[in-house]
Homo-oligomer: A and B are copies of this chain.
Amino acid sequence: MTSNHVVPAAPGAPQAAAGEHLLRDAGLRVTGVRLAVLRALDGHEHSTADDVVRTVRDDLGSVSVQAVYDCLHALTGAGLLRRMEPAGHPARYERRVGDNHHHVVCRGCGAVADVDCVVGEAPCLMPGDTHGFTLDLAEVTFWGLCPACATGPAPAR
């Protein structure tokens, strides 16, 4: 779909325009909130909507909760973000898309980290009997305890 006739951005606009590019290429309008949401998720993978709201407000000033949810949906729909929702915890968003990586979730504090299966290509992603379902994605979630929760007893929360 998206060809790569990437114009070598203005020699003064580092990656600032990167987000803009991403949005335009995805056919989305470029808005301050959307750029801020993308920025918020850089270096803060697996943030909850609430985390993003806080970060964005810290960045732009005042932004409504809906604006953020709206962006998260739009960006997720456009494939710029990936959404994952550990059972019993609010949804989390990340910018690592495309590669089909998986997640570890801590039963204690809910922390999430990325993992790559040792088996390179989609391993057990081909169940025997699919009951007639047409599959398009396999999602793997590992449950356990993070280093912190494994040693000391579960934290406050």
Contacts and interface: CB of A to CB of B under 8 A. Distances in A.
A83 interface: yes
A118 B130 CA distance: 11
Contact of A118 (B126, B138, B146): B126
Interface residues of A, number: 43
Interface stretch (A14-22, A30-38, A62-70, A109-117): A109-117
A133 B145 contact: yes
A27 interface: no
Contact of A138 (B131, B135, B141, B150): B141
B127 A147 contact: no
A143 to B, nearest CB: 4
A133 B127 contact: no
A123 interface: yes
A117 B127 contact: yes
